[in-house]
Amino acid sequence: MKEVGWDDLRLFLHVASQGGLAGAAALTGISAPTIGRRMLALERTMGRALFTRSQQGYRLAPDGEILLDRVRTMHMTVSDITRWHGEAFTLPIVKIAGHAWLASFLAAQSTTLRGPADAFRICSQRLSAADDLTFQRGVTALLPVKPETGNFAIRKTVDVAYAIYRPASAPAGSNLPWISIGTEIATSAPEKWVFHNHEPQIHTWTNAPELLPDLIASGAGRGVLPTFIGDTLPKLVREGEPIEGLTHPLWLAVNDDDRNRPEIRLVMDRLLALLKENEDLFAGRHIAGRGDHSSARARHRSLAGHAD
């Protein structure tokens, strides 16, 4: 049995709704003789008489009435699918980019950055030292170093501090070995600090920074983490204050041609508010009377998946 094409069925719908070939021709731009031939071919393909033809036009035969009901249902379904498809691919994209630690933090706050009614899509990106944002559009980036070149609008946000963490299961003062970031990927001063200061005591290292909290929590040793990560993980304990000399500002950068796009501006404002709200966490400032940062942990529980 030959398959009936949707184009012919849609043309049938036009003929039926317009009451003849002339109306369908005016609606579709296809000539009346061509439409007439295609309707005859449709009837032959289906093996049914769909129209009663007369000088007054085309009137639906009983089988034509049945087909019309079904084609109308198909047409509504196709229209719904087309509209759904169009809505998805017309929504603008806002890319939020940051290094591995920030990517985890921002992922945990995704509903803060985009609500269900927002008319844009978000792409979370992990940045590496080799990534060049100069010619990328639609990217809102959080960077540890202020860009000196490129067409960027730049704003300083919060200070990021780093501290030493040990597993909570290890007694204070334990002589633990060190865990470091692999030298093949370490590019920043915090990533290199353990290697530069405790190389002989390094027993474990990783080239995946996001694994460092798990390694520390497992008892493999102590390591250095940004305080906005380490202070939120119940199975880790901070050793002392943030490491002097590692604290740096965090810069928000966006292509200057993008910054006035409504969706970019909205995400920027939300990012700035989110970072401001967590300023003490990023700076490693202890919550008054609570050296264990329990309030910060409650606010960022979703980050604890690494070490819970």
Helix (H, G, I), strand (E, B) or coil at 237: strand
Using the 8-state DSSP alphabet, how is residue 244 labeled? T
Give the model's pLDDT for residue 295. Answer: 37
* Average pLDDT estimate for 90-117: 86
Task: Report the range of poorest mean pLDDT among 135-144, 245-254, 276-285.
Answer: 135-144
- Of 240, 183, 188, 178, nearest to 212 (Cα)? 178
Q: Could you tell me the pLDDT band of residue 100, with boundaries at 50, 70 and 90?
A: confident
Give the model's pLDDT for residue 54. Answer: 83
Question: Between these two residues, 132 and 197, which has the higher pLDDT value?
Answer: 197
Q: Return the residue matching tokens 């249902």.
A: 73
| Tokens standing for residue 202 | 């390094």
Give the model's pLDDT for residue 269. Answer: 93
- 3-state secondary structure string, 22-53? HHHHHHHCCCHHHHHHHHHHHHHHHCCCCEEE
pLDDT > 50? residue 301: no
Task: Report the range of poorest mean pLDDT among 121-130, 189-198, 204-213, 220-229.
Answer: 121-130
Highest mean pLDDT among 16-25, 46-55, 220-229: 220-229
Give the CA-trace dihedral at 68, 74, 76, 77, to 10 degrees. 170
Tell me how far CA of residue 96 lies from CA of 16, 120, 228, in angstroms.
Answer: 51, 13, 18
The partner residues of 170 in beta bridges, in order of sequence, read none
> Amino acid identity of 305?
G
Alpha-carbon span 221 to 90, nearest angstrom: 49
Alpha-carbon span 126 to 96, nearest angstrom: 9
* Average pLDDT estimate for 128-136: 67
Domains contained in the chain, CATH given: 6-90 (1.10.10.10), 93-160+247-277 (3.40.190.10)
Alpha-carbon span 246 to 196, nearest angstrom: 13
Contact between residue 246 and residue 161 where contact means Cβ atoms under 8 Å apart: yes
* Average pLDDT estimate for 112-141: 80
C-beta atoms surrounding 42 within 10 Å: 20
What order of strands is seen across the sheet that includes strand 139-143?
Answer: 121-126, 93-98, 139-143, 248-255, 152-160
- 3-state secondary structure string, 141-154? EEECCCCCCCCEEE
Contact between residue 161 and residue 226 where contact means Cβ atoms under 8 Å apart: yes
Q: Could you tell me the pLDDT band of residue 241, with boundaries at 50, 70 and 90?
A: very high
pLDDT > 60? residue 61: yes
pLDDT > 50? residue 224: yes
Give the CA-trace dihedral at 137, 142, 147, 152, to 10 degrees. 40
Helix (H, G, I), strand (E, B) or coil at 62: helix
pLDDT > 70? residue 293: no
